[in-house]
Structure 1
């Protein structure tokens, strides 16, 4: 007859092995959690000046991920410490490296989504 201690030990061992197997079998991915944050001086957030339908906006973003930008026209981008890809309405994607500031005075792109890498 198997003692109660041995049965408990075997159950714990089986549970541990199952958890380890599941951990190895499930692929890990990047957590995408781009955040719209308050623009503050001295911060190195992605900062975008844009306009659409007579409205103007200045927005800041932090953390890696992708988010919809609603087809707004971008007037200026300051990447801060973020590498950025913006996706325009023509289906093109443009990568801008960190620590760059770009203005679009004559032909601003109409952007459908942005992604911080």
Structure 2
């Protein structure tokens, strides 16, 4: 008898906890490193570090590590962006903006799509 009551109470508690978890918005973001394709409106970043050049594209809201690479150019596409540089500063760039850094590129530790 006690086991049946305990199992029923545990099941009710589990369902209540699950429904509470599903209804409370969290900070789970899903920024994705995606393939750069022409015609898409992804965030696109041209960068270099240690003699290597890279062009990377990102989609979806969230924040991710950028590894301290030097950023040469950013095209935000349809994304609002904040980049966090090695000096501890954060810089916001609005969507549909293209910016280049020919003389003093920032060293970026992480990026965030808003």
TM-score range, shorter chain: 0.7 to 0.9
Separation (CA, whole Å) in 2 of partners of 1:79 and 1:73: 17
Q: TM-score, normalised by structure 2?
A: 0.82
- 1:104 matched to which residue of 2? 101
In structure 2, the CA distance between the partners of 1:21 and 1:61, relative to structure 1 (3 Å rule), is closer
> Is residue 53 from structure 1 mapped to residue 54 from structure 2 by the alignment?
no
Aligned-residue offset at 1:19: 2.7
Q: Please list every run of 5 or more consecutive structure 2 residues that lacks an aligned counterpart in the other structure.
A: 1-7
Distance (Å, rounded) in 1 between the aligned partners of 2:68 and 2:14: 47
Paired position in structure 2 for 1:7: none
Alignment of 1:16-31 (within 5 A): 19-20=15-16, 23-24=19-20, 27-31=24-28
Q: Give the ranges of 4+ consecutive aligned residues of structure 1 lying more than 4 Å apart after TM superposition.
A: none
Question: Does residue 81 in structure 1 map to residue 78 in structure 2?
Answer: yes
Matched, 1:95 2:92: yes
**Length-normalised TM-score, structure 1:** 0.80
Task: Give how far 1:35 is off.
Answer: 0.6
* Residue correspondences, number: 106
Q: Structure 1: how far apart are the matches of 2:18 and 2:74? A: 43
C-alpha distance in 2, partners of 1:21/1:52?
46
Taking the aligned partners of 1:76 and 1:107, their CA distance within structure 2 comes to 11
Q: Which runs of 5+ in 1 are unaligned?
A: 1-10
Q: Which has the larger radius of gyration?
A: 1
